[in-house]
Amino acid sequence: MQKEETRSYYENKVRMVTDYIHDNPGNDLSIKTLSEKFNISYFHFHRIMQAALNEPLGNYISRVRLSVSARMIKEGSESLSNIAEKVGFNNLSAFSKSFTKEYGISPQEYRLSEGYPIHNEIDLQFERNGVVKARINPQVKTIHPSSVLCVEAVGEYGAKEVYEIWEAIIWHAVANGLYSWHPDLFSIYYDDPEETGVANCRYDCCLSIKKEFVPEGNFKVKEFDGGKFLVFRYKGSYDNLWEAYNLLYRDYIILLDKYQLRDAPIVERYIKFSERMKPENYITELCIPIE
């Protein structure tokens, strides 16, 4: 009984801390200040918060600040300098750098854009010791139709051949002036691996393009229909993607009664990835088509 009371006590404390961070992103959110404010031992505070959040507290605070700033940019006309100060950044340069790194678009570009999707909360994460569920809170997004430069592929995503396909697409796009500063890279899946087997799954590796282009060789240009999607953010290696889908369908999607699944392929959008990153830090949006 004592254990349950202790756990409940710290769960309530963590909830109070995260609520405070969301409501006061511009305040001093140092470990010392927060631990004193919520009467949690300074020596244990960071470990308690990391265990509850599944990430370092500093990362969580940064994501909250940027999420709040994105909302402020879209919902008002306040200067970017004022917004940066209100969410806890010392200057506009540091704010712009962090915003661009997180979202792949500068604050100014985001203010001028229409419908650019932003979602920086992690819904599902895999770690070495198994599955870690973050706050599963998917967003509903409408992805606009677009022309795509693509290569058709068959097999397991994450295999060596797939990396070679992406490398070829990117180099081909750069050589032909099709590669933008924040490229929209995604895959469209046409098969269910439970039916066809992972090794036989068909999908297109796609890059959105904004001008007419006549492809050559294995490259094709297709029209992506877009549509409405239920979007989950997954953090982790591509090796666990199929397991992530199974978990989401089993424990979340089939329990929903507010959305109706649409008869269309699943889409994966690759938000953060590079050869220099550790695979466990890759961020992928799993987009489930809905009516």
Same domain, 54 and 197: no
C-beta separation of 25 from 64 below 8 A? yes
Last residue of one domain, picked from the residues 55, 80, 112: 112
Task: Report the amino acid identity of residue 228.
Answer: K
Same domain, 283 and 246: yes
C-beta separation of 40 from 46 below 8 A? no
- The mean per-residue pLDDT over the stretch 116-124 comes to 70
CA distance 45 to 128: 24
**Backbone phi, psi, residue 278, to 5°:** -75, 140
Same domain, 138 and 89: no
Answer whether residue 74 is part of any domain.
yes
Same domain, 7 and 56: yes
Answer whether residue 118 is part of any domain.
no
Q: Please give the residue range of the domain that contains residue 227.
A: 124-289
C-beta separation of 134 from 122 below 8 A? yes
Last residue of one domain, picked from the residues 87, 112, 137: 112
| pLDDT at 144 > cutoff 50 | yes
Same domain, 78 and 141: no
pTM, full prediction: 0.65
Same domain, 152 and 266: yes
Encode pLDDT of 226-284 as tens digits.
899 988 888 888 888 888 888 888 777 766 677 788 889 999 998 877 777 777 778 88
CA 142, distance to chain mean position in Å, is 15
* CATH number for the domain that contains residue 101: 1.10.10.60
Same domain, 64 and 98: yes
Answer whether residue 136 is part of any domain.
yes
Answer whether residue 56 is part of any domain.
yes
* CATH number for the domain that contains residue 199: 3.20.80.10
Same domain, 60 and 152: no
Answer whether residue 156 is part of any domain.
yes
Q: What is the 3-state secondary structure (H, E, C) of the chain?
A: CHHHHHHHHHHHHHHHHHHHHHHCCCCCCCHHHHHHHCCCCHHHHHHHHHHHHCCCHHHHHHHHHHHHHHHHHHHCCCCHHHHHHHCCCCCHHHHHHHHHHHHCCCHHHHHHCCCCCCCCCCCEEEECCEEEECCCCCEEEEECCEEEEEEEEECCCCCHHHHHHHHHHHHHHHHCCCCCCCCCEEEEECCCHHHHCHHHCEEEEEEEECCCCCCCCCCEEEEECCEEEEEEEEECCHHHHHHHHHHHHHHCHHHCCCCCECCCCEEEEEEECCCCCCHHHCEEEEEEEEC
Same domain, 58 and 155: no
Encode pLDDT of 31-76 as tens digits.
899 989 989 888 888 888 887 777 788 888 998 898 889 888 888 8
Q: What is the pLDDT of residue 118?
A: 66
Answer whether residue 193 is part of any domain.
yes
Same domain, 20 and 148: no
Same domain, 107 and 186: no
Same domain, 21 and 152: no
Domain count, the chain: 2
Answer whether residue 119 is part of any domain.
no
| pLDDT at 290 > cutoff 70 | yes
Q: What percent of the chain has pLDDT over 90?
A: 18
Overall size of the chain counted in residues: 291
Which has more confidence, 37 or 6?
A: 37
Give the largest CA-CA distance in the chain. Answer: 69
Q: Apex CA 123: angle with CA 117 and CA 126, to 5°?
A: 125
Answer whether residue 71 is part of any domain.
yes
Minimal CA–CA distance to 134: which of 59, 195, 224, 213? 59
Q: What is the pLDDT of residue 222?
A: 92
Strands 227-235 and 124-127: parallel
Computed over every residue of the chain, the mean pLDDT equals 82
Last residue of one domain, picked from the residues 52, 84, 112: 112
